[in-house]
């Protein structure tokens, strides 16, 4: 029995997994049932109401670790702009499959699942495959972090992330370090500010220092330099009180030459006693040199499918690989999926139908090469 990847994509799109709240369980169980019937060992990993990750493995009786294929099944909300199509009907037209989560990334998940199903018959005594299908990616790789912290992930020698790349093999992406800086003060009546300590003034001093902050790490050949942005500032309750609390949120996008721990220490020193720093999300950059033997193999597989020799490029977004690779000790990782990167999170999101079939072909070849060597 062979499953059509476009039909499977449609089934996944018709399951509403907008995050929040997510409710990925039916989607995870649907994929799990298909994989189980093809001989995969299936594990469901729940971490909240209807929040379920799926880990499915086959083979693995080898000193060579398995290949990991990964994707997330949650989607972002629909946004304020009305859609011209029903976002959950999975309609096709003009060679496109429309719906929330088509490009990002249910078509990618369908493609990697079908490639795994088609390969299952010859994988039993090979290094094998591990499929890691996550919930909660869109809100900061929550599902992947739960898998890592709960020790569910075993080992993997290389990782394929099926996020949208129009099937172009990306060799990495920046990291993300999100920090909250809290300033505390002492409240007083607004007519007697000398009796209080103004937390907003402290936060403002911190913001000014952050605007002037310069990274001292060498810039990266493909990713350039890290960036820092203050995204929000909140403080004060009313006009006639001295505010005793203020908070800023800092979005730092890092490159492989940045050590997150050291960076937090440097910022804490420079910002001084005015604020306290707290880490909200900590995802290291993901990067594999294009000269790595496995990446060369992926490029070779993709060349005829793309009709051009791939060049080393990186994705603009981050992926679950940043969390999974903590468990897998940073194996070579490629981001490669059928979705259109510019359609992710957009109104009238679509995925080009033909790219789904090409992705299945690509994944099957990557699996075959990994498991026959
Ligand atoms: Zn995504």
Measured in Å, residue 125 CA sits from the centre of ligand 1 at 32
pLDDT band at 61 (very low <50, low <70, confident <90, very high): confident
Measured in Å, residue 72 CA sits from the centre of ligand 1 at 7
Measured in Å, residue 21 CA sits from the centre of ligand 1 at 16
Measured in Å, residue 273 CA sits from the centre of ligand 1 at 38
Calpha distance 250→161 (Å, rounded): 27
pLDDT at 1: 64
Measured in Å, residue 76 CA sits from the centre of ligand 1 at 9
pLDDT at 24: 98
**Angle in degrees, CA 301, 302, 306, rounded to 5:** 145
Say what percent of the chain tops pLDDT 70. Answer: 99
Measured in Å, residue 320 CA sits from the centre of ligand 1 at 8
Average pLDDT over residues 347-368: 98
| 0.85 surpassed by pTM | yes
Measured in Å, residue 104 CA sits from the centre of ligand 1 at 5
Residue 120, helix vs strand vs coil: helix
Measured in Å, residue 205 CA sits from the centre of ligand 1 at 36
pLDDT at 225: 97
Measured in Å, residue 316 CA sits from the centre of ligand 1 at 11
**366 phi, psi to nearest 5 deg:** -65, -40
Calpha distance 292→253 (Å, rounded): 24
Residue 160 has pLDDT above 70, yes or no: yes
Residue 283 has pLDDT above 80, yes or no: yes
Task: Give me the torsion for CA of 83, 70, 175, 141, rounded to 10°.
Answer: 70
**Residue 233 structure tokens:** 């500032």
Residue 373 has pLDDT above 80, yes or no: no
Residue 258 has pLDDT above 90, yes or no: yes
Residue 106 has pLDDT above 80, yes or no: yes
Calpha distance 315→337 (Å, rounded): 11
pLDDT digits (tens, 9 = 90+) for 319-347: 999 999 999 999 999 999 999 999 999 99
pLDDT digits (tens, 9 = 90+) for 115-140: 999 999 999 999 999 999 999 999 99
pLDDT digits (tens, 9 = 90+) for 62-81: 999 999 999 999 999 999 99
Long-range pairs for 228-235 at CB < 8 Å and ≥24 separation? 228/252, 233/203, 233/207, 235/183, 235/199, 235/200, 235/203
Average pLDDT over residues 358-368: 98
Residue 85 has pLDDT above 80, yes or no: yes
Average pLDDT over residues 7-12: 98
Residue 92 has pLDDT above 80, yes or no: yes
Task: Give me the torsion for CA of 252, 316, 232, 220, rounded to 10°.
Answer: 20
Q: DSSP states of 320-335 as a string?
A: THHHHHHHHTS--EEE
Residue 239 has pLDDT above 80, yes or no: yes
Measured in Å, residue 56 CA sits from the centre of ligand 1 at 20
pLDDT digits (tens, 9 = 90+) for 299-312: 999 999 999 999 99
Q: Which residue in 123, 125, 112, 98 sits closest to 70, CA to CA?
A: 112
Measured in Å, residue 24 CA sits from the centre of ligand 1 at 14
Measured in Å, residue 81 CA sits from the centre of ligand 1 at 20
Report the mean per-residue pLDDT for the chain. Answer: 97
pLDDT at 2: 85
Residue corresponding to tokens 């993901």: 286
**Can you name the residues that pair with 131 across neighbouring β-strands?**
56, 69
pLDDT digits (tens, 9 = 90+) for 175-207: 999 999 999 999 999 999 999 999 999 999 999
Measured in Å, residue 98 CA sits from the centre of ligand 1 at 16
Measured in Å, residue 317 CA sits from the centre of ligand 1 at 8
Measured in Å, residue 163 CA sits from the centre of ligand 1 at 5
Contact (Cβ atoms closer than 8 angstroms) between residue 252 and residue 344:
no
Measured in Å, residue 144 CA sits from the centre of ligand 1 at 13
């Amino acid at each position: 029995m062979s499953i059509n990847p476009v039909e499977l994509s449609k089934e996944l799109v018709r399951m509403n997994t907008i995050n929040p709240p997510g409710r990925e369980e039916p989607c995870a169980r649907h994929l799990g049932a298909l994989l189980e019937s093809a001989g995969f060992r299936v594990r469901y990993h729940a971490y909240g109401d209807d929040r379920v990750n799926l880990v499915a493995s086959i083979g693995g009786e080898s000193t060579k670790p398995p290949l990991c294929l990964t994707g997330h099944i949650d989607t972002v909300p629909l946004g304020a702009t009305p859609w011209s199509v029903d976002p959950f009907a999975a309609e096709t037209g003009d060679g496109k499959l429309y719906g929330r989560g088509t490009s990002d990334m249910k078509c990618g998940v369908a493609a990697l699942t079908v490639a795994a199903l088609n390969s299952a018959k010859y994988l039993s005594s090979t290094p094998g495959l591990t499929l890691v299908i996550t919930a909660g990616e869109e809100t900061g790789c929550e599902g992947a972090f739960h898998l890592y912290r709960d020790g569910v992930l075993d080992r993997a020698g290389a990782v394929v992330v099926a996020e949208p790349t129009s099937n172009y093999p990306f060799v990495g992406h920046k990291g993300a370090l999100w920090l909250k800086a809290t300033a505390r003060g002492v409240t007083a009546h607004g007519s007697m500010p000398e009796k209080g300590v103004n937390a907003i003034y402290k936060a403002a001093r911190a913001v000014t220092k952050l605007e002037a902050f310069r990274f001292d790490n060498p810039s990266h050949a493909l990713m350039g330099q890290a960036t820092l942005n203050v995204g929000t500032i909140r403080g004060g309750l009313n006009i006639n009180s001295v505010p005793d609390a203020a908070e800023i949120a800092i979005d730092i996008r890092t490159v492989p030459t940045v050590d997150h721990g050291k960076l937090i220490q440097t910022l804490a020193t420079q910002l001084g006693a005015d604020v306290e720093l707290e880490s909200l999300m900590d995802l290291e950059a993901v990067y594999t040199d294009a000269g790595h033997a496995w990446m060369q193999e992926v490029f070779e597989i993709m060349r005829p499918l793309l009709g051009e020799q791939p060049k080393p490029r990186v994705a603009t977004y981050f992926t679950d690989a940043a969390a999974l690779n903590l468990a897998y000790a940073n194996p070579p990782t490629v981001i490669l999926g059928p979705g259109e990167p510019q359609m992710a999170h957009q109104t009238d999101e679509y995925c080009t139908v033909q790219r789904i079939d090409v992705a299945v072909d690509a994944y099957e070849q990557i699996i075959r090469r990994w498991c026959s060597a």
